[in-house]
């Protein structure tokens, strides 16, 4: 069952009763190799094959199957976006954040550009704009920086590019004595400052902004280099090509690689902050 779930997340299409297909790439080859290893460790049998053609399924037919599968995922997402717009637009950022993350996950395995992708993206952007317009506690709310000194800042486990960049920003521009901890959404410690958590607590995604951008605007940080890094983190985290910046994707990929090594949350955060520090120093 664990392998089956991994197959679904990888975006496979089935071939018969026991075969699964992905477009040939180093990343997909690695996915299959790890899954085959897991199967063999449980005394099962698995083979990873690279095929040039299938006699009863042409290349255009295969591409269409992948595109249809992505289209079905985007349609399900589109239905949920419409439900949020009808029911809770402007009430909470948490559903929008989860929808955006689902979109990114589907886009990653949309190997042949499903026509439904742009439709889902437009609907999601409209939903984000509606929430931002109706929000009652956006980034323009008055923030007193002195109230955020020497605090415990809490985020989700397994930090990624937005969270490590936000931690770097907090330590360097907001709270030099900040302490960082990790928690599930339902057990945030009292008197801590949540960031990049699902829900409305603390600082997170707001409208079209990632958490890093929310912090920059909330604490009125005006350094030019910080604005440049904000653009890089936005594009890498939200994957919407808003600023056309590619630098953050390198940080994102390195973080994913370290996460696969099983490094602890603390080590991931510390290493990620060092990456962002290097990015800061590279900007002239």
* Together in a domain, 120 and 195: no
Q: Which residue has the tokens 């653009």?
A: 231
Nearest of 228, 277, 226, 225 to residue 251 by alpha carbon: 277
The residue range of the domain holding 248 is: 145-282
Q: How many domains does the chain have?
A: 3
14 plus 77 within the same structural domain: no
Give the Cα separation of 120 and 201 in Å (integer): 27
Q: Does residue 171 sit in the same domain as residue 274?
A: yes
Whole-number mean pLDDT of the chain?
Answer: 88
Q: Are residues 197 and 128 in the same domain?
A: no
How many angstroms separate the CA atoms of 3 and 65, rounded?
21
CB contact at 8 A, 158 and 129: no
Q: Which two tokens stand for residue 284?
A: 């002239």
Which residues, in sequence order, are CB contacts of 128 under 8 Å at separation 6+? 96, 100, 207, 208
- pLDDT, tens digit, for every residue of 141-189? 568 899 999 999 999 999 999 999 999 999 999 999 999 999 988 889 9
Backbone angles phi, psi at 195, to 5 degrees: -140, 140
- Predicted pLDDT at 83: 85
Of 23, 51, 20, whose CA–CA distance to 35 is shortest? 20
Q: Is residue 48 part of a domain?
A: no
83 and 211 share a domain? no
**According to the model, what pLDDT value does residue 137 have?**
45
φ/ψ of 191, rounded to 5, equals 70, 10
Q: What is the pLDDT of residue 284?
A: 63
Considering the domain boundaries, does residue 139 fall inside one?
Answer: no
Task: Return the beta strands (E) in 73-161 as ranges.
Answer: 152-155
Contacts with 25 (C-beta within 8 Å, 6 or more apart), sequence order: none
Closest CA to 121 of 250, 241, 23: 241
| Torsion-angle region of 22 (φ positive above 0: left; ψ -120 to 50: alpha; else: beta) | beta
Structure tokens at 118: 């742009």
DSSP state of 203: B
- The model's pLDDT over 81-94, given as tens digits with 9 standing for 90+, comes to 888 877 654 445 66
Compute the C-alpha angle 27/28/34, nearest 5°. 90
214 exposure class (CB count in 10 Å sphere: 0-12, 13-18, 19+): buried
pTM of the model: 0.55
Q: Can you tell me whether residue 145 is helix, strand or coil? A: helix
Choosing from 102, 134, 166, the residue where a domain stops is 134
Q: How confident is the model at residue 66 (pLDDT cuts 50, 70, 90)?
A: very high
């Amino acid at each position: 069952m664990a392998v089956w779930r991994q197959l679904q997340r990888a975006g496979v299409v089935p071939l018969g009763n026991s075969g699964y297909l992905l477009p040939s790439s180093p990343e997909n080859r690695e996915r299959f190799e790890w899954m085959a290893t897991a199967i063999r460790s449980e005394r099962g049998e698995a083979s990873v094959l690279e095929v040039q053609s299938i006699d009863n399924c042409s290349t255009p037919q295969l591409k269409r199957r992948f595109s249809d599968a992505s289209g079905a995922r985007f349609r399900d997402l589109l239905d949920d976006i419409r439900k949020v717009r009808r029911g809770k637009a402007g009430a909470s950022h948490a559903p929008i954040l989860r929808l955006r993350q689902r979109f990114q996950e589907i886009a990653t395995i949309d190997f042949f550009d499903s026509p439904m992708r742009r439709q889902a993206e437009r609907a999601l952007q409209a939903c984000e704009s509606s929430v931002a317009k109706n929000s009652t506690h956006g980034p323009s709310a008055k923030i007193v920086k002195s109230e955020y000194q020497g605090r415990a800042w809490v985020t989700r486990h397994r930090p990624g590019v937005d969270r490590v960049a936000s931690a770097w920003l907090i330590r360097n521009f907001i709270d030099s004595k900040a302490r960082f901890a990790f928690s599930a959404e339902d057990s945030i410690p009292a008197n801590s400052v949540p960031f990049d958590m699902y829900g409305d607590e603390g600082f997170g995604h707001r409208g079209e902004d990632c958490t890093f951008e929310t912090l920059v605007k909330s604490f009125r940080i005006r350094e030019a280099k910080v604005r440049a890094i904000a653009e890089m983190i936005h594009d890498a985290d939200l994957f919407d090509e808003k600023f056309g910046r590619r630098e953050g994707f390198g940080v994102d990929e390195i973080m994913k690689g370290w996460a696969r090594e099983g490094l602890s949350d603390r080590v991931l955060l510390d290493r990620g902050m060092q990456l962002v520090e290097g990015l800061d120093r590279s900007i002239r």
